[in-house]
Structure 1
Amino acid sequence: MSLFEDFLTRLTQKFPEDGATMTMSAFIEANTTLKKKPFSFKGYEFQRQIVDDMHPNLAVIKCSQVGLTEIQIRKFFSFLKRTTAVNGIFSLPNDEMYKRVSKTRIKPIVDDEPVFNQHDTSKKPARSMDLYQVDDSFGFITGGKEGDATSINADIMFNDEVDLTDQEILALYGSRLQGSRIKIRQGFSTPTFEGYGIDSMFKASDQHEYLCRCSRCNHWNLPTFTPKFINIPGLSSDLNDLSEIDNDMVMKMDLDAAFTMCEHCGAKLDLLDPSKFEWVPRHPGRLSRGYWVRPYCAPELNTIRYIVEQLLDYKRKNSIRRWYNTVLGQPYNDASARLSIPEIEAVMKGEGNVDVPLGSPVAVGCDVGQTCHLVVADLRHAVPIVFKWLQVPADELKQAFADLRAQYNVVAGGMDLNPYAPLAHEIRDESKSVVMPIEYATSLKAAPISLVKDETDKITHVSSNRTGIIDKTVGSIRGHRIAFAGYGSKKLVIQTHLQDMVRVELPEQPAKWVKLTGDDHFFHALGYLLHALRIHDFILSQDEQEERQMSVIFGLISTVQQREAGLDFKSRVRSPSLLGLL
């Protein structure tokens, strides 16, 4: 290399190509490399608009094999480079992914690209697995823990794999931008369930779709993996859902001759010509920005053959949801992970008022908030029949419980300990511990039922495994071990609340139930009601065990304190174990 060429190289490294009108994609092309060649968007032209879009509230749904993690890393650090003295957070769902991405994806880009190395060679930039300095700006790489979401202030935040991240932690991340005037937050993820995570964010956005214009008829298409767009020689014309393709069908198909066609005229779409594509928003007036990256956006990788082969592979693994999520980039409504409307309607027995005589044994469940949701179940039948669905302001909750105790024989009850623990304790005491405060426990080792006592050995509340409570509540509905009645005009509200909880299985973590929108109050009220029956049965079994021990030691039967306190409801109503609740 000549002295002049060496001078130009060093000059370029010190003063990267940039300008006020230069787009982010042009900056990345001019200043970064891939496999020792200038970075190019060729074959991934759809990425350019997403990279250039610095909207403060952006969400991208993506399938696999489209290179978005690579490009968003470059976008993130290019922003830090081009903006003076800012902080950015790039979050991954967990420590394992954060360490892997930081080591194998981020570190090579930041260390090897001269544009991201500090101009003043006398100062060594701060570089570690969780922190990368670029000039006077800092990029924090985090693993989705609560401490990560509460300890760093930022101007820009990229959340990678939104759906695999704990949604409560994700919400906490928003507070990290409060002190900034820039406040850019962008999320990227393969989807999981309808209405959850990235799908929910996209639905609230302007919903950009990458449309393809037909060369023959000029019709704009939004290709999907359906018979309307996919032409596979040898595929039966009677097949309406391509996810039904199996090994026997594939033997009759010519996958190499398959193509994506225009829904209007049937001509083959030219998916390799970027001039035929354009990002178009469904709702251009909305304040947040959204993009949906589907398989045909990168057609050379996501061929029809590849999609079909992946379908068969995921079927063999009994993981069809993963095929929808990662290969098609579509959210999936898994019946096993979420209560369906038919399952709910199967236990709904009528909207009319139910005649429950005064003094009848009932159980109560309450989800506490500014508006409290109460459910009351008649226990005189083979299965509990929920006949009251109440919505009560928090300041009227004590009176509502008093009215129920005056009208019925409340033999068991449960309510959440939080967010108003003093109120829960007052209601517990006024009911003589019949209505027990319940605290959701999320620890991996949390017991199904753990009695929490004070220094006088009095039970203050119960701590119980959250996932276990919800699993049993869903199981009771699916197994028809509970019935609903007397709901009047609240039928749709109840169905909405029961469908708001989705069981999500995260990588290397136990399954957990997550909220879709937060409208889930009657669901949790039902959970507290059913769990209260198990709690009282558990307490009674402990008392009986103590009695047996006392009789062995002293040769007599002790008086059970909890019975005197009203905890024994088995003498007044059929055992919940006989009702199939345990």
Structure 2
Amino acid sequence: MNKIQEVTFKNHLLRLRAGASQATALTEVSKWISRNTTINGRNFSYKNHEYQPRILDSTARECVIRKCSQVGISELSIRKALALCGMIKEFTVVYTLPTATLASVLVRTRVNPVIEESAYLKGMLTGTDSVEVKQFGAGSFLYMKGAASSNAPISIPTDFLVHDELDFSDPLVISQYQSRLTHSLYKMRLKLSTPTIPGKGIDSAFMQSKRHFNFARCNHCNHYFIPDYYDHVKIPGYSGDLRDITKTRIHTINHTEAYVECPKCGKKPNLAPKYREWVCENKDENHVADGFQVSPFDCPNLITPSYLIEASTSYTNIGEFINFNLGLPHFSRESVLSPDEVQGVIVNSYHEGSAFTVMGVDLGKTCHITIARCSFDGAMQVVHIEEVPLAQLKIRYREL
């Protein structure tokens, strides 16, 4: 048997093994990934990301991940999508990102390398192979799509929807994608994102799930707690608020020696995997989805307290640090108008026969303001439009 025949035979055996295990496929995704995909020439490993198998092997129909950045969640979701295409016959995955451009970049930089380095997946790749659609075997497909208003959801049945960076995707388009699951036996969904404001996007989905947190057990006193940046990160010789540390004064603080402190015994707990445990805080609630909060403390060998302190000084808006580096929702008055602020500029002018003026604001890095004159017969006339940088919005809306 020559080299090509040997590889072909091995791939055939892998397909047979995967096909025979479809009934238990959803509980063995993490094992399948480590057996059949590689990274840097070696079998994929969960080293330094030991929290991931519990998320991958969730059997819930829907999974929600509220996360911080740079902890391997996008890599996890890509490999799960590819694994299910390889494990289950006639299985269709639609993977979305905020824009089609981001989706195509992800294919070239993340998806294609995983397939190229996997003898099994590469051997299954047949027929269509583009940046938008990939076919595995006779009837399994992976679609990579944008979730912007100009990208209509594909009109084909889908078994598994993955919405990456949910909070930065068009919510109307996301809702339209849900109808693609109607005729599927699986009806699976995975939502993942760094959060933005409380009660919206991924935070809303997380709150409507069985919420899991990766608890730490102090190796000194056995106390269980969820590591928290502002409550548990301590700096020798510094007793102030971590929020007060800025780029101009960080050099005066011994932040390189920062550590996580046990809230019970005050010692430094070991955050290694053997002292960690996923715990559901609302297991008796009847939610369809499993939710997982992924924090920087779930990768203690990669993200240190010292790094987090340095990162916190790089933002002009502390809300962005809390969102991206801590993976938590945060309402920031620096970038969002509160309901009270909006109500405060509404003038009641309900006089019969009179007209009134309304203002609409499309929020973004550049905000688009439209002002219209309205009458009580339903007529509306736009009288003013302009673009305003987000940083100047509050000043300008008050002026208008």
Which TM-score band applies after superposition, normalised by the shorter structure? 0.7 to 0.9
| Alignment counterpart, residue 331 of structure 1, candidates 324, 329, 332 | 329
Find the counterpart in structure 2 of residue 400 from structure 1: none
Alpha carbons of structure 1 residues 77 and 449: separation in structure 2 relative to 1, 3 Å = same
Within-5 A mapping of 1:172-571: 172-226=176-230, 228-235=231-238, 237=239, 239=240, 241-247=241-247, 249-271=249-271, 273-284=272-283, 285-287=285-287, 288-314=289-315, 318-340=316-338, 343=341, 347=344, 385-386=347-348, 408-413=351-356, 448=370, 461-462=380-381, 479=398
Alpha-carbon deviation of 1:385? 4.8
TM-align CA RMSD: 3.5
Find the counterpart in structure 1 of residue 147 from structure 2: 144
Alpha-carbon deviation of 1:337? 3.3
Q: For residue 330 of structure 2, give the secondary structure of its aligned residue in structure 1.
A: coil
Alpha carbons of structure 1 residues 65 and 183: separation in structure 2 relative to 1, 3 Å = same
Report the Cα distance in structure 2 between the residues aligned to 1:166 and 1:253, rounded to whole angstroms: 42
Alpha carbons of structure 1 residues 254 and 441: separation in structure 2 relative to 1, 3 Å = closer
Alpha carbons of structure 1 residues 180 and 245: separation in structure 2 relative to 1, 3 Å = same
| Alignment counterpart, residue 126 of structure 1, candidates 128, 137, 142 | 128
Report the Cα distance in structure 1 between the residues aligned to 2:71 and 2:9, rounded to whole angstroms: 34
Alpha-carbon deviation of 1:234? 2.4
Alpha carbons of structure 1 residues 158 and 167: separation in structure 2 relative to 1, 3 Å = same
Structure 2 residue identity aligned to 1:132? K
**Are 2:371 and 2:385, in contact at CA under 8 Å, matched by a contact in 1?**
no
Alpha-carbon deviation of 1:74? 0.6
* Superimposed CA distance per residue, residues 334-373 of structure 1 (whole angstroms, 9 cap, x where no aligned partner): 113333476478x4xxxxxxxxxxxxxxxxxxxxxxxxxx
Report the Cα distance in structure 2 between the residues aligned to 1:40 and 1:296, rounded to whole angstroms: 19
Alpha carbons of structure 1 residues 462 and 118: separation in structure 2 relative to 1, 3 Å = farther
Structure 1 residue identity aligned to 2:176? L
Report the Cα distance in structure 1 between the residues aligned to 2:46 and 2:326, rounded to whole angstroms: 22
**Are 2:361 and 2:367, in contact at CA under 8 Å, matched by a contact in 1?**
no
Alpha-carbon deviation of 1:448? 3.8
**Are 2:94 and 2:143, in contact at CA under 8 Å, matched by a contact in 1?**
yes
**Are 1:439 and 1:463, in contact at CA under 8 Å, matched by a contact in 2?**
no
* Residue 82 (str. 1) matches residue 82 (str. 2): no
| TM superposition score normalised by structure 1 | 0.59
**Are 1:439 and 1:464, in contact at CA under 8 Å, matched by a contact in 2?**
no
Alpha carbons of structure 1 residues 441 and 329: separation in structure 2 relative to 1, 3 Å = closer
**Are 1:63 and 1:294, in contact at CA under 8 Å, matched by a contact in 2?**
yes
Report the Cα distance in structure 1 between the residues aligned to 2:73 and 2:213, rounded to whole angstroms: 16
Alpha-carbon deviation of 1:225? 0.6
Structure 2 residue identity aligned to 1:130? E
Q: Aligned residues, how many?
A: 381
* Superimposed CA distance per residue, residues 165-218 of structure 1 (whole angstroms, 9 cap, x where no aligned partner): 111111111111122221101101111111111111111111110001011111
Report the Cα distance in structure 1 between the residues aligned to 2:383 and 2:182, rounded to whole angstroms: 35
Find the counterpart in structure 2 of residue 106 from structure 1: 111
Report the Cα distance in structure 2 between the residues aligned to 1:132 and 1:9, rounded to whole angstroms: 22
**Are 1:210 and 1:278, in contact at CA under 8 Å, matched by a contact in 2?**
yes
Alpha carbons of structure 1 residues 186 and 467: separation in structure 2 relative to 1, 3 Å = farther
Return the index of the structure with the highest Cα Rg. Answer: 1
Structure 2 residue identity aligned to 1:188? L
Structure 1 residue identity aligned to 2:219? S
Alpha-carbon deviation of 1:222? 0.3
Find the counterpart in structure 2 of residue 432 from structure 1: none
Alpha carbons of structure 1 residues 168 and 260: separation in structure 2 relative to 1, 3 Å = same
Q: For residue 270 of structure 2, give the secondary structure of its aligned residue in structure 1.
A: coil
Structure 2 residue identity aligned to 1:326? F
Alpha carbons of structure 1 residues 461 and 450: separation in structure 2 relative to 1, 3 Å = same
Structure 1 residue identity aligned to 2:198? E
In structure 2, runs of 5+ residues without a counterpart are none
In structure 1, runs of 5+ residues without a counterpart are 348-382, 388-403, 416-437, 452-458, 480-579
Q: Which has the higher contact order (CA 8 A, sep 6+)?
A: 2
| TM superposition score normalised by structure 2 | 0.84
Report the Cα distance in structure 2 between the residues aligned to 1:31 and 1:463, rounded to whole angstroms: 59
Alpha-carbon deviation of 1:111? 3.2
Q: For residue 126 of structure 1, give the secondary structure of its aligned residue in structure 2.
A: strand
